[in-house]
Amino acid sequence: MKTLYPLLSEERKADTDITYDGASPSLSVNLDNLYSPHAILIDLDSGKAVAARGSQDRIYPASLTKIMTALLAVEETDNLDETVTLSTRIFPKLYAEEASMAGFQPGERVQLRDLLYGILLPSGAECCLAFAERIAGSEEAFVKLMNEKAKELGMDSTHFCNSTGLHDGNHYSTVEDMAVLLKHALKNADFREAFTSSQHSTLPSDLHPDGFTFYSTMFEYMSSAKVTGGEILGGKTGYTEEAGLCLASLAGINGKEYILVTAKADGTHDTEQFHILDAVNVYNQVGASSNDSQ
């Protein structure tokens, strides 16, 4: 059996390993015709790779980075019902970089749970920095925690430079490492609940007295989440010019759950959403193949 992370403890291995030893032989899934040159499909229950393509090649993860930010947010927060005031100092840089935002305002008092959903659904950079400052005192210190967590999980081909996924040449990963991360993160109930939501309405605040609603950047592009034998349950998109279109998603098909991570599909926010088309393609193959094997 091939074990990817031999230096981890036995207990940690069981939680993070992805293996390739004849995984899911009853499933036939072809990744050759995807728009995404990097892809990995994981049977979540067994942790085995069903199919992989360029899965260990270096990629820029773009906003898939926020999966790690959200994971640390829930792991390092005792009570998500607490509120914090968003520092005015985090906004000018985000505005200048045209980072994606959830819609919170400088100085707004916000519930931490709303910030968590703001990270995973609309990909809000201000939510990332709010958690980073609260947990570690600064984004720089928070990034150290991100890299420590990556090392703990055996993500040996990953290095983070920021909490948002804004492009940096030294901010990189692989789709295999991102699958390891998502596999672990989905074990956390608060993370899973947010990750699998299509929309979220915030509590009223001083600057949004009626609250407001934001939507998943994946689900908003999908006319239906249905695939053969099941449905796509949740996902986190990512895009920068250097990273291309990226997607980490979860689907439930014929009583089993699968993770698919893809990266570097051509396109932009304004083109056809090729990373989502790839997910529908792959999950339809899973459903059809598992139906045939029953």
- Residues involved in catalysis: 63, 66, 123
**Residue 282 CA, distance from chain mean position:** 18
Distance CA 127, CA 108 (A): 12
E strand residue ranges, 72-202: 83-85, 109-111, 199-201
Give how far Cα 186 sits from Cα of 9, 190, 248, 249, 258, Å: 20, 9, 12, 11, 11
H or E stretch covering 256: strand 256-265
Q: How far is CA 66 from the centre of its chain?
A: 6
| Residue 59, strand partner residues | 173
H or E stretch covering 263: strand 256-265
Burial string for 122-138 (b: 16+ CB within 10 Å, else e) reads bbbbbbbbbbbbbbbee
Q: Which candidate, 173, 149, 154, places its Cα nearest to that of 68? A: 149
Q: How far apart are CA 1 and CA 105, in angstroms?
A: 51
Cα distance between residue 31 and residue 41, in whole Å: 9
Contact 80, 114 (CB under 8 A): no
Beta-carbon-side half-sphere exposure of residue 238 (alpha carbons within 13 Å):
28
